Amino acid sequence: MLLSRGVYMFSIGTNDYLSPFLTQSDVLNSFSHSQYVDMVVGNITSIIKGIYKRGARKFVFMNLPPLGCLPGTRVIKSDVNKNNNGSCLQELSSLAKLHNQALSLALSKLEKHLKGFKYSLYDLNADVTQMINYPFKYGLKEGKSACCGSGAFRGEYSCGGKRGQKHFELCEKPSEYLFWDSYHLTESAYKQLASRMWAHTTNNPHFLGPYTITDFFQAQ
Protein backbone atom coordinates (compact mmCIF):
# COMPACT_ATOMS: atom_id res chain seq x y z
CA MET A 1 0.00 0.00 0.00
CA LEU A 2 2.78 2.42 0.94
CA LEU A 3 4.74 1.68 -2.23
CA SER A 4 1.67 2.22 -4.41
CA ARG A 5 1.08 5.67 -2.89
CA GLY A 6 4.67 6.78 -3.48
CA VAL A 7 5.77 8.93 -6.41
CA TYR A 8 8.91 7.81 -8.22
CA MET A 9 10.92 10.41 -10.14
CA PHE A 10 13.48 9.58 -12.81
CA SER A 11 16.10 11.73 -14.51
CA ILE A 12 18.12 9.12 -16.32
CA GLY A 13 19.97 8.45 -19.56
CA THR A 14 22.28 11.45 -19.88
CA ASN A 15 25.51 9.59 -19.20
CA ASP A 16 24.61 6.82 -21.66
CA TYR A 17 24.92 9.38 -24.45
CA LEU A 18 27.60 11.67 -23.05
CA SER A 19 30.05 8.90 -22.26
CA PRO A 20 30.85 7.79 -25.84
CA PHE A 21 31.75 11.38 -26.77
CA LEU A 22 33.68 12.24 -23.61
CA THR A 23 35.68 9.00 -23.52
CA GLN A 24 36.17 8.76 -27.30
CA SER A 25 34.56 5.33 -27.17
CA ASP A 26 33.78 3.58 -30.45
CA VAL A 27 30.56 2.06 -29.09
CA LEU A 28 28.44 4.16 -31.44
CA ASN A 29 30.29 2.65 -34.37
CA SER A 30 28.84 -0.74 -33.45
CA PHE A 31 25.22 0.43 -33.53
CA SER A 32 23.06 2.74 -35.56
CA HIS A 33 21.78 5.67 -33.53
CA SER A 34 18.29 4.16 -33.41
CA GLN A 35 19.66 0.79 -32.23
CA TYR A 36 21.65 2.43 -29.46
CA VAL A 37 18.64 4.48 -28.34
CA ASP A 38 16.45 1.35 -28.35
CA MET A 39 18.98 -0.40 -26.11
CA VAL A 40 19.08 2.47 -23.60
CA VAL A 41 15.30 2.94 -23.50
CA GLY A 42 14.84 -0.84 -23.33
CA ASN A 43 17.00 -1.00 -20.22
CA ILE A 44 15.04 1.86 -18.64
CA THR A 45 11.77 0.11 -19.46
CA SER A 46 12.96 -3.08 -17.78
CA ILE A 47 13.81 -1.17 -14.61
CA ILE A 48 10.41 0.53 -14.60
CA LYS A 49 8.67 -2.83 -14.90
CA GLY A 50 10.70 -4.15 -11.99
CA ILE A 51 9.71 -1.24 -9.77
CA TYR A 52 6.10 -1.60 -10.89
CA LYS A 53 6.12 -5.27 -9.82
CA ARG A 54 7.09 -4.15 -6.33
CA GLY A 55 3.99 -1.99 -6.13
CA ALA A 56 4.88 1.39 -7.61
CA ARG A 57 2.17 3.02 -9.72
CA LYS A 58 2.99 6.74 -10.02
CA PHE A 59 6.04 7.73 -12.05
CA VAL A 60 7.55 11.08 -13.03
CA PHE A 61 10.04 11.35 -15.88
CA MET A 62 12.14 14.15 -17.30
CA ASN A 63 13.36 13.71 -20.83
CA LEU A 64 16.94 14.53 -21.82
CA PRO A 65 18.11 18.14 -22.19
CA PRO A 66 19.86 19.34 -25.40
CA LEU A 67 23.04 17.40 -24.64
CA GLY A 68 25.01 18.89 -27.51
CA CYS A 69 24.49 22.41 -26.15
CA LEU A 70 26.12 21.95 -22.75
CA PRO A 71 29.34 23.94 -22.17
CA GLY A 72 31.28 20.68 -21.94
CA THR A 73 29.99 19.40 -25.28
CA ARG A 74 30.24 22.68 -27.17
CA VAL A 75 34.01 22.56 -26.65
CA ILE A 76 34.20 19.05 -28.17
CA LYS A 77 33.16 20.49 -31.51
CA SER A 78 35.46 23.46 -31.01
CA ASP A 79 38.40 21.12 -30.43
CA VAL A 80 37.64 19.20 -33.61
CA ASN A 81 37.00 22.27 -35.72
CA LYS A 82 39.15 25.22 -34.68
CA ASN A 83 37.00 27.56 -36.79
CA ASN A 84 33.87 26.53 -34.92
CA ASN A 85 32.32 29.31 -32.85
CA GLY A 86 31.02 27.02 -30.13
CA SER A 87 27.80 25.90 -31.76
CA CYS A 88 26.02 22.85 -30.39
CA LEU A 89 27.31 19.35 -31.07
CA GLN A 90 24.45 18.36 -33.33
CA GLU A 91 25.04 14.60 -33.36
CA LEU A 92 24.70 14.46 -29.59
CA SER A 93 21.60 16.65 -29.49
CA SER A 94 20.05 14.49 -32.22
CA LEU A 95 20.64 11.39 -30.09
CA ALA A 96 18.90 13.10 -27.19
CA LYS A 97 15.90 13.89 -29.40
CA LEU A 98 15.72 10.28 -30.60
CA HIS A 99 15.85 9.12 -26.99
CA ASN A 100 13.08 11.50 -25.97
CA GLN A 101 10.82 10.28 -28.76
CA ALA A 102 11.48 6.65 -27.88
CA LEU A 103 10.93 7.30 -24.17
CA SER A 104 7.58 8.97 -24.80
CA LEU A 105 6.45 6.03 -26.93
CA ALA A 106 7.67 3.48 -24.36
CA LEU A 107 5.79 5.20 -21.53
CA SER A 108 2.60 5.31 -23.58
CA LYS A 109 2.89 1.56 -24.20
CA LEU A 110 3.51 0.86 -20.51
CA GLU A 111 0.39 2.81 -19.59
CA LYS A 112 -1.66 0.62 -21.92
CA HIS A 113 -0.23 -2.69 -20.72
CA LEU A 114 0.36 -2.18 -16.98
CA LYS A 115 -2.81 -1.83 -14.94
CA GLY A 116 -2.80 1.29 -12.77
CA PHE A 117 0.45 2.62 -14.25
CA LYS A 118 0.38 6.43 -14.31
CA TYR A 119 3.11 8.79 -15.44
CA SER A 120 4.00 12.43 -15.86
CA LEU A 121 6.52 13.34 -18.55
CA TYR A 122 8.23 16.73 -18.41
CA ASP A 123 9.87 18.23 -21.49
CA LEU A 124 13.16 19.23 -19.89
CA ASN A 125 14.71 19.49 -23.36
CA ALA A 126 12.40 22.29 -24.48
CA ASP A 127 12.55 24.10 -21.15
CA VAL A 128 16.36 24.14 -20.94
CA THR A 129 16.65 25.05 -24.62
CA GLN A 130 14.54 28.14 -23.95
CA MET A 131 16.78 29.08 -21.02
CA ILE A 132 19.89 28.68 -23.18
CA ASN A 133 18.51 30.81 -26.01
CA TYR A 134 16.69 33.44 -23.93
CA PRO A 135 18.48 33.71 -20.56
CA PHE A 136 17.28 37.27 -19.86
CA LYS A 137 13.68 36.04 -19.95
CA TYR A 138 14.52 33.91 -16.90
CA GLY A 139 16.47 36.54 -14.99
CA LEU A 140 19.84 35.18 -16.13
CA LYS A 141 22.72 36.96 -17.84
CA GLU A 142 24.46 33.94 -19.34
CA GLY A 143 22.89 30.87 -20.94
CA LYS A 144 25.82 29.23 -22.75
CA SER A 145 28.99 29.55 -20.68
CA ALA A 146 29.47 27.84 -17.33
CA CYS A 147 30.13 29.72 -14.12
CA CYS A 148 33.00 27.43 -13.12
CA GLY A 149 35.59 25.82 -15.39
CA SER A 150 38.19 26.79 -17.94
CA GLY A 151 38.66 27.24 -21.66
CA ALA A 152 35.99 28.23 -24.16
CA PHE A 153 32.57 28.62 -22.52
CA ARG A 154 34.38 27.44 -19.35
CA GLY A 155 33.49 24.07 -20.80
CA GLU A 156 36.60 22.20 -19.70
CA TYR A 157 35.66 20.11 -16.67
CA SER A 158 38.22 21.66 -14.34
CA CYS A 159 35.95 23.28 -11.72
CA GLY A 160 37.43 22.72 -8.27
CA GLY A 161 40.65 21.34 -9.70
CA LYS A 162 39.12 18.22 -11.27
CA ARG A 163 41.03 15.96 -13.65
CA GLY A 164 44.35 17.26 -12.47
CA GLN A 165 43.77 20.83 -13.64
CA LYS A 166 44.65 23.18 -10.81
CA HIS A 167 43.64 26.37 -12.58
CA PHE A 168 40.03 27.25 -13.30
CA GLU A 169 37.81 30.31 -13.54
CA LEU A 170 34.87 31.11 -11.29
CA CYS A 171 32.16 33.67 -11.98
CA GLU A 172 31.21 36.20 -9.31
CA LYS A 173 27.47 35.55 -9.31
CA PRO A 174 26.46 31.93 -10.03
CA SER A 175 22.78 32.89 -9.80
CA GLU A 176 23.17 34.83 -13.05
CA TYR A 177 24.28 31.72 -14.95
CA LEU A 178 22.31 28.80 -16.32
CA PHE A 179 25.23 26.37 -16.06
CA TRP A 180 27.31 25.88 -12.95
CA ASP A 181 30.00 23.76 -14.62
CA SER A 182 30.51 21.82 -17.83
CA TYR A 183 27.41 19.64 -17.46
CA HIS A 184 25.31 20.77 -14.50
CA LEU A 185 22.95 23.69 -13.98
CA THR A 186 23.23 26.22 -11.18
CA GLU A 187 21.12 26.01 -8.05
CA SER A 188 19.05 29.01 -9.17
CA ALA A 189 18.34 27.38 -12.56
CA TYR A 190 17.28 24.12 -10.95
CA LYS A 191 15.03 26.06 -8.60
CA GLN A 192 13.26 27.69 -11.55
CA LEU A 193 12.82 24.34 -13.29
CA ALA A 194 11.47 22.75 -10.12
CA SER A 195 8.93 25.56 -9.70
CA ARG A 196 7.64 25.12 -13.23
CA MET A 197 7.51 21.36 -12.87
CA TRP A 198 5.55 21.61 -9.63
CA ALA A 199 3.08 24.20 -10.93
CA HIS A 200 -0.35 22.59 -11.11
CA THR A 201 -1.43 23.68 -14.55
CA THR A 202 -2.23 22.01 -17.80
CA ASN A 203 -1.25 25.24 -19.58
CA ASN A 204 2.46 24.57 -19.06
CA PRO A 205 3.59 23.61 -22.59
CA HIS A 206 6.46 21.57 -21.17
CA PHE A 207 4.17 18.98 -19.61
CA LEU A 208 3.81 16.17 -22.11
CA GLY A 209 1.24 14.47 -19.90
CA PRO A 210 -0.85 12.73 -19.23
CA TYR A 211 -0.52 13.89 -15.59
CA THR A 212 1.22 16.76 -13.83
CA ILE A 213 3.39 16.05 -10.81
CA THR A 214 0.98 17.69 -8.40
CA ASP A 215 -1.81 15.45 -9.69
CA PHE A 216 -0.07 12.56 -7.96
CA PHE A 217 -0.01 14.33 -4.60
CA GLN A 218 -3.54 15.72 -4.71
CA ALA A 219 -5.29 12.55 -5.86
CA GLN A 220 -4.81 9.79 -3.33
Average pLDDT value over all residues in the chain: 91
DSSP states along the chain: -HHHH-EEEE---HHHHHHHHHTT--GGGSS-HHHHHHHHHHHHHHHHHHHHHTT--EEEEE----GGGSHHHHHHHHHH-TT--S---HHHHHHHHHHHHHHHHHHHHHHHHSTT-EEEEE-HHHHHHHHHH-GGGGT-SEEEEESEEBSGGG-BS-TTSGGG----EE-S-GGGEEESSSS-B-HHHHHHHHHHHH---TT-TTEEEE--HHHHHH--
- Residue 180, pLDDT score: 97
**For residue range 96-121, what is the model confidence (pLDDT) as tens digits?**
999 999 999 999 999 999 999 999 99
pLDDT band per the 50, 70, 90 thresholds, residue 80: very low
Mean pLDDT on 165-171: 86
pTM of the model: 0.90
What is the mean predicted confidence (pLDDT) over 48-61?
Answer: 96
Confidence of residue 207 (pLDDT cuts 50, 70, 90): confident
pLDDT tens figures, 111-148: 999 999 999 999 999 999 999 999 999 999 999 999 99
Average pLDDT rounded to a whole number, residues 12-37: 92
